[in-house]
Structure formats: structure tokens, C-alpha cells
Amino acid sequence: MIEQNISLKPYNTFGIDVKALAFGRFGSLETLKALLSNRDPEIPLLILGGGSNILLTKDLPFFVLKNEIEGIETISETDEQVVLKVGSGVEWHAFVRHTVEKGFGGIENMSLIPGSVGASPMQNIGAYGAEIKDTFVSLEALHIESLELHTFNKEQCQFGYRESVFKRALKDQYVIVSVSYQLTKHPKINTSYGAIQSEIEVMGIENITVDVVSQAVMNIRRSKLPDPKVLGNAGSFFKNPVVSKAVFDQLHVNYPDAPHYPQESGEEKLAAGWLIEKAGWKGKRVGNCGVHEKQALVLVNYGGATGNEIYDLSTAIIEDIYSKFGVRLEREVNIL
């Protein structure tokens, strides 16, 4: 059923109250095809998953489709590994917990990332030393115009840092309907990133499994990040900037304690949260929105904020960081 002038407040984690011209849901490839084949091509299309990576700044004269494709299917399995095909509407964290409970390794470090499985390859999501590209096998996506189902392998997805071909060359041309991941039955535990190891020590656990790592990551994230159901947010609002060696060298002279991560390209990745905190924005409130008091990467809606208020706050932060450090931050969240 297609509804008219529906509020999208329940469908975006910022809790922004804007309306969509038309709204529908799909839980299968067949329903998606039917909705697309009967739509008015003059009306722009927006596919919504978990609504965790968007900032809505106005009422949308769009046909909004909510992805509710479920299902986790074993495609292949050996003594060493398993390939799972997952519906793009599955909640990402629910999928992570499914794999952890089975003892499969590969995505446990990405526990509690908000959003749906369909968004994972689009964003090449990652956390605590792991990225989707590390376990990704392929995805199936429906071409919006031709209604043909295409399969994309890792190379075709052109993964980069929080990037893929679906955010660039193929933006708005496909709807991802399933994603396949290869997980290991003999996990290589990675506790070297961030505070995972120290959190496990606090937990007092010596036999470290994927479940233990997952729980440690959840503990860390919950201690720093607000629950969107309580305080509207979209997780990390900014990407960690990657800068040239020359820019980093100049920054390092003035700020020798600045965290940095050497890249294969010779560039350096900086911590956006550190820059924002160093500039004095952490915990700062502007009207109905602000920067979270425990994590400077997260912008929050204290209640009643408009998308434009949050966008203007992000712009002020970007300009201030550039003036202070010579580094221009880039938004990770999609702006509509």
C-alpha cells in the first residue's frame, strides 16, 4: 500500500519530522519490482533502510520506499568458513549477533553499528580495525530503470574509506537486495584497536572468543555513544580525514599529540573526533542540537531540532576546524 504525506520521523535516527510525498514498504524482490514498475518516473526515489545515515533538512517530494527484506541463508560451508547471504533489510547488529552466536568470526568488531545490512557495502562500514570489504563476497542489486537484477563482486563495488561505487558512479541507480559475506569458523581475534583489550581485562575474561569481543565493543560503544531511541543522532557525523604528508607534518609541529594512522598511499588518517574536541566543540549545545558530551564525532538532536539546524552546526564545525588546523572535514552522513 502506498501512503501519502507520511511523516518520516519514525524512520530516521535523528528523529527529524519531515514528510514524504509518498511512502511504501517492500519485503521481497517481487514487491520492490511491482512498486518500481508502477511509480511515476517524474517523482524522485529514496530507499530507506535503518535511516541511520541521513539528515533530512526539508519535506521530501519523493517516493520513499522502506526496505524490509529479511532472511539469512547459508550459501556454502566448509570446515574452515561459511558464506551467508543476508537480506538487505536485516538490522546490521542483529546479523552480527547471529554470526557471533554461531561462533563465526569476521564482523564481531562491528557490533552495534546502527543501520541495515543493505547500507553496509554502500558505506563500506567499519569499526575497531574491521571493514565490510574484509568479509564481503558479493551483493545483488536491482537496477531501478531496467528492473534487472545484477550481481556485484568486491572489485566492482570499488570500496574505499566509507565509500563504494554506489555512493559515486552508480548513485541512485540500484537498490541493494542482498549481501553475501564470508566468515571464518576459526576466528582470528582482533583486540588491538581502540580500547577493546583493556575492556576485556575489565570484564575479567581470559578465554577470548568472538562473543567476548562483540560484548566488549558493545560496552565501549554504549559508554560513549547515545542511543538514537533516547537522543536523536546518526552515529559518526564526520569521516576521519585523510591528509597529505605535508599537511600532517605541519599539524604535527603544532600538535605533536595528534592521533594519526599512516596509510599505504603515504598519506595520514587523522581522528576527526580529536580535532573537534581540541577545537572546543565537544559537549557544546547550539539551540536544540549539539555535539555529544562523550563523543565529539556525534551530533545530537536534543528534541525539536530541524535538519537545517544540525546541518548549520556541522558547517560551523567544518569551518572552525579548517581555520584552526588547515584540515577540512567531510560529512559521513547523507544530506537530503
Which positions are annotated as active-site residues? 162, 236, 332
CB 51 within 8 A of CB 60: no
d(CA 193, CA 213): 11
Alpha-carbon separation of residue 178 from 29, 118, 131, 223, 299 (angstroms):
10, 7, 18, 32, 30
Q: CA 40 to CA 63: how far, in whole Å?
A: 9
Alpha helix (H) ranges present in 160-284?
196-203, 210-224, 245-254, 272-278
CA 129 to chain centre: 15
Q: How far is CA 238 from CA 53, 120, 268, 270, in A?
A: 11, 17, 16, 12
- DSSP annotation of 133 reads G
In this structure, are residues 232 and 55 in contact, taking their beta carbons and an 8 Å threshold?
no
Grid cell 543501520 is found at 115
- Distance, CA of 251 to chain centre: 28
